[in-house]
Amino acid sequence: MARDLTALFDPASVAVVGASDDPAKYGHAVAAQALRAPGRRPVHLVNRRGGTVLGRPAAPSLSAIGEAVDLAVISVPAGGFEAAVDEALSCGARAIVAITAGFAETGAAGLARQQSIADRVREAGAVLVGPNCLGIADNTTELYLASDTFTPGGIALLSQSGNLALELQLRFAPHALGFSRFVSLGNQSDVTLVDLVEDCARHDGTSALAVYAEDFGDGRAFARAAATAGKPVVLLTAGRGRASARSAQSHTGALTTSADVVAAACRDAGVELVATPREMTVVLAALRSGGRGSGRRTAVFTDGGGHGVIAADAAESAGLDVPELGEKAQSRLRSVLWEQSAVGNPVDLAGMGEQDPRSYAEAVGSLLDADEVDAVLMTGYFGGYSASEGGLGGGGTALAEGEIRAARDIVLRRVERPKPLVVQSMYPQAPSCRILADAGVPVFSATEDAARALTALTVGEGPEPHGVHPLPAPAAPLEDPGYHGVRALLTAAGVPFPAAREITGEAELIAAAGEFDGPYVLKALHLLHKSDAGGVVLRLPDRAALLAAYREMHARLGAAAYSVEAMADLSDGVELIVGVNQDPRFGPVAMVGLGGVLTETLHDVAFSLAPVPAPRAERLLRGLRTAGLLAGVRGRPAVDMTAAAEVIALITEVAAAHPEIAELEINPLLVRPSGVLALDARAVLA
């Protein structure tokens, strides 16, 4: 159930506990900000010495105010923090913003104190942001309880870094972006990132959410909240490159990093994942324009060959396609451009813009109108003619006026043909470029920024929506984590395996061989990398060969048990790997990719939160670098992708229903033209 944060963002009254005249103290900055809107609600300043603060009377305590306080900001030394919280609750506070540090970030004792305080706050029916935070602000309700002023706008920033908010403030300005809300997350002892995402999703004044988080807490809950927000969510996070601290006991564990998990959660939830504040700004500027399109076929349009090829490279590096235009589109372009213009893609005016600025609008209109074009990236000199200085034509010339008219015409044509359009210009602040930006066309000075912005406005082809699939109800815990116990678990769920028997001696081996025909496979059990250790022998043609292989392997390895299996036909299949890890923040995370003995060497894998529905599983497979092998190459037949996806869905559903399994892996999963067989399985209990 979503929490009511009304008292946090629109309180009836505010008190700043620890308000000070000393500019070196945080209570001074917060008090000064709180007093910016005294007419909106009562603002009380509290300083234990009383007197005046910032020229206003200061009460020596919350109780001395003599009336209820709806929200209390507490910025006092850690030793007095608990008493201040208790007094705030006794004075009726429904929300507390805890600036004070010295709790969970200091170790176990601090965490215990923090938890005790948070418990008291919740028992009182109140909410607490922090501790160890830098305050909050809500421009839509004139609530200013942070040390800095934030330009009003539609973006809610939820951040574990105060300095990041200041940098974004500077980066937002050229794009006319601003903030609806700012919340410093602090230690998230009570109000969590998930609570805030859910509340901002309901907030009419917020059009997009920007999140900087180092600690997600419940990462899966964050992904669910972002997926259902109904508004763009852009995430910047740190430490994604560190591998999991848990010792990996499978290929899946060895190949999975924190970066993979976060990226998978973002992709499933439809969150835009960025790596820098600059990229966050670029994506938010793009998303403000709306008009997201389907498909990545991009037309690059330029007024200079160099800009065109650079932009084409940047677009492809960003994941967009820049295909050659078909004859119909090229013919349409030839009808509006002059003879020397290039019309293949990139489309190059080749100097025509200097002669006739209307050609910009004509070319953009033709490209937006082409069925084979999903998006347009315009790059180069546009804007230079109308720039007040530095432009070729200079300000006030007929050329500049023509460029401005072209900009207005581009805006009209985009309205008629609503496809993503992004502009890179050497003069992004020129009048013609401002016309585009004011009309919602993102304009950037850097080519790579324009390409990244366009990827934020395009979505891949396919009907599958974003979303986090719910976890199944927990199943009875797995009692036998051995090879055959795991096979039995998966077989019961519908995952097909070849016939197999576990044996511990020659008599059992001979009996097992009599239950199904050869050729046979012999495996030594309880080895991580059986092939590397010589613990797997394939294609044993008959019982005599099987017995000989067993004697040699047992003499060398001395394993406690072995598995005798029917040999699958590998001639026309492709080996995949399917694994699921239990991540401490995001729960079960699935990995699929090219399998077999070269899994870790090739590292061609993709990730998703588990369980993975079959349509998403198929898209993961088709997105692999080696997906061409699945489609059939050099005379080999295509394999049954639908069957593979359905089995992946079964495997990940089983893993998600067994939280006691830290790692579950099927490698290889043999996919053939007419079906699927799991050839090996492994589970590691938590």
C-alpha span between 579 and 611 (Å, rounded): 11
307 with 449, same domain: the answer is yes
Q: List, run by run, the mean pLDDT of 10-residue segments along the chain (686 residues).
A: 94 97 96 94 96 96 96 96 97 97 94 97 97 97 95 96 90 96 96 97 98 90 96 87 44 66 94 97 93 89 93 96 97 95 96 91 96 96 78 62 93 89 95 94 97 90 73 95 96 97 95 94 84 89 96 94 95 94 94 82 89 96 91 86 97 98 95 95 93
pLDDT score at 161: 85
| pLDDT the model gives residue 392 | 47
Whole-number pLDDT of residue 243: 43
489 lies in some domain = no
d(CA 580, CA 483) in angstroms, rounded, equals 16
pLDDT at 525: 92
Q: Do 131 and 153 belong to one domain? A: no
- The position carrying tokens 């399994």 is 661
Look at residue 127 and tell me if it is in a domain: yes
Domain that holds residue 653: 574-685
Within a domain: 468: no
Regarding whether 561 and 419 lie in a shared domain, the answer is no
Other Cβ atoms closer than 10 A to 155: 28
Q: Which of 596, 615, 619, 597 is nearest to 606 (CA)?
A: 619
Query: What's the pLDDT score for residue 248?
Result: 43
Torsion of CA 60, 65, 68, 74, to 10 degrees: -30
Q: What are phi and psi of 659, to 5 degrees?
A: -65, -15
| AA identity, residue 40 | R
The reply to whether 223 falls in a domain is: yes
* Overall number of domains in the chain: 5
Tokens for 478, please give them. 């797995």
d(CA 95, CA 9): 9
User: In the beta sheet, which residues pair with residue 61?
Assistant: none
Q: Which residue in this structure is represented by tokens 């013919």?
A: 331
* Shared-domain flag, residues 371 and 425: yes
| CATH number of the domain enclosing 600 | 3.30.470.20
Report the relative pairing of strands 520-524 and 443-444 from DSSP bridges: unpaired
Residue 20, domain CATH: 3.40.50.720
| Residue after which a domain boundary falls, among 566, 585, 606 | 566
**Does a structural domain hold residue 443?**
yes
Helix runs in 573-640, H state only: 599-602, 614-622, 627-631
> Does 482 reside within a domain?
no
What is the H or E stretch that residue 432 is in?
Answer: helix 431-438
Per-residue confidence (pLDDT) for residue 256, from 0 to 100 = 59
The CATH number of the domain holding residue 560 is 3.30.1490.20
Q: Which tokens hold the place of 7? A: 């008292």
- Of 404, 437, 459, the one marking the end of a domain is 459
Backbone φ, ψ for residue 530 (5° rounding): -60, -40
Same domain, 309 and 433: yes
Residues 309 and 429 in one domain: yes
Cβ atoms of residues 506 and 519 within 8 Å: no
CATH number assigned to the domain comprising residue 408: 3.40.50.261
Domain match, 141 and 153 both: no
Say if residue 136 is in the same domain as residue 216: no
Q: 424 near 450, Cβ under 8 Å? A: yes
Looking at residue 460, its pLDDT comes to 60
- C-alpha separations of 644 from 250, 572, 578 in Å: 21, 15, 10
Residues with Cβ within 8 Å of 433's Cβ and at least 6 positions away in sequence, in order, are 382, 383, 407, 423, 425, 427, 443
Does 484 fall in a domain?
no
Rounded to whole angstroms, the Cα distance separating 43 from 15 reads 6
Residue-level pLDDT at 666: 96
Residue where a domain terminates, one of 111, 146, 181? 146
Beta bridge partners of 376: 299, 421
Q: What is the pLDDT of residue 394?
A: 47
Residues 2 and 139 in one domain: yes
Q: What's the one-letter identity of residue 438? A: D
Is the same domain home to 116 and 96?
A: yes
> Are 580 and 677 found together in one domain?
yes
Do 598 and 542 lie in a common domain? Answer: no
What's the pLDDT at 598?
A: 67
Bridge partners of 257, per DSSP, are 243
Q: Is residue 465, in this structure, part of any structural domain at all?
A: no
Residue from 152, 207, 162 nearest 37 by CA: 152
- Candidates 147, 131, 130; CA nearest to 25 is 147
